[in-house]
Amino acid sequence: MSKVVKESISSVFVTGATGFVGKMLCRHLLDKGYPVAGTVRSREKIFELPSQMEYHLIDDIGPYTDWTGVLENVDTIVYLAARVHVMQETSTDPLDEYRRVNTYGTERLAYMAAKAGVRRIIYLSTIKVNGEKTPPHPSPLPQGESGYFREDAMPAPQDHYAISKWEAEQILGRIAGETGFEVVIIRPPLIYGPGVGGNFKRLLGRVNNGVPLPLSRVNNRRSLIYLGNLVDAIVTCIDHKDAAGKTFLVSDGEDISTPDLIRMIAKAMGKRPRLIPFPLSLLKAIGRFSGKSAEIERLSGSLCIDNSKIREVLGWKPPYTMEEGIRETVRWYKDSTRSVRC
């Protein structure tokens, strides 16, 4: 585990405490002796929280959320709650809905946090603020380009989610300048680990079921982050004095191609990867025809992160290797599918 510079234990308030990241973060904080409180969206979710932590029922985060009394005696807020990608969008104005939760909800909490005397807000953003992809690896790159996203690169958010997150980052910076509280921004790439959903869970299922995957000719590089590594980075940022006012890109530090990721998953499952050759141009054409261009692009495109800033500024390094993270994720997946069958 990385070393944290701190003078005393901070009281931590976690929004999205029952989410994918929040569950592990709250348990980890409690194990390290932090007083922890968090938000839940429904009473049914209360039972998902550790019994040692306090909870506050906040069913909707937005520009009018009433945080009165909730933030008393809180030193640090870890802001995880967000409107993430919606597979079946029903809103007539999706960007406005993302902004309502991710941008204006953040603004509301930040102002009330400053009023309550909160010292620091750690905001979980997304690497999509930087953009959707980096140049392919390997390839000749223009002079001055590294093929990696860095903190000082010009933001280039493209979808509604990323735009709302980038706007929230800017608002936090403005309010911090006005009020004096500290802001730390963390931009992770795809997060995997126990409890993962979405495309990564579907990939686990396909590998587990022996589905042939037409990806053997993909020659890309992608940065990922294991949930345990992300949680460790967040905890490092809670009390480290040099984290204040910084933006950090975080990853496992082990860029991997999609075919090699599938091979690693298959190895952890004790299975043989079923990768078949298929022309990438034809695969992309099928994606356009089927409405799955974005999914094909994530599988075939490159997105690489330079995480040297958080290593150098905070002395942080991922406590888990990617192979260890994949093994834990596969173990969880097998346990969860086994319990469903039972």
**Residues acting as catalytic residues:** 161
Cα–Cα dist 201/219, whole Å: 22
Cα–Cα dist 239/22, whole Å: 18
CA-based max dimension of the chain: 59
Cα–Cα dist 321/206, whole Å: 23
Residues 6+ apart with CB under 8 A from 66: none
Cα–Cα dist 46/252, whole Å: 31
**Cα-based angle 15, 17, 21 (whole degrees, multiple of 5):** 105
Which of 258, 101, 122, 227 lies closest to 185 in space, CA to CA?
Answer: 122
- Calculate the alpha carbon distances from 297 to 20, 54, 134, 154, 158 in Å: 24, 42, 12, 22, 14
User: What residue type is assigned to position 225 of the chain?
Assistant: I
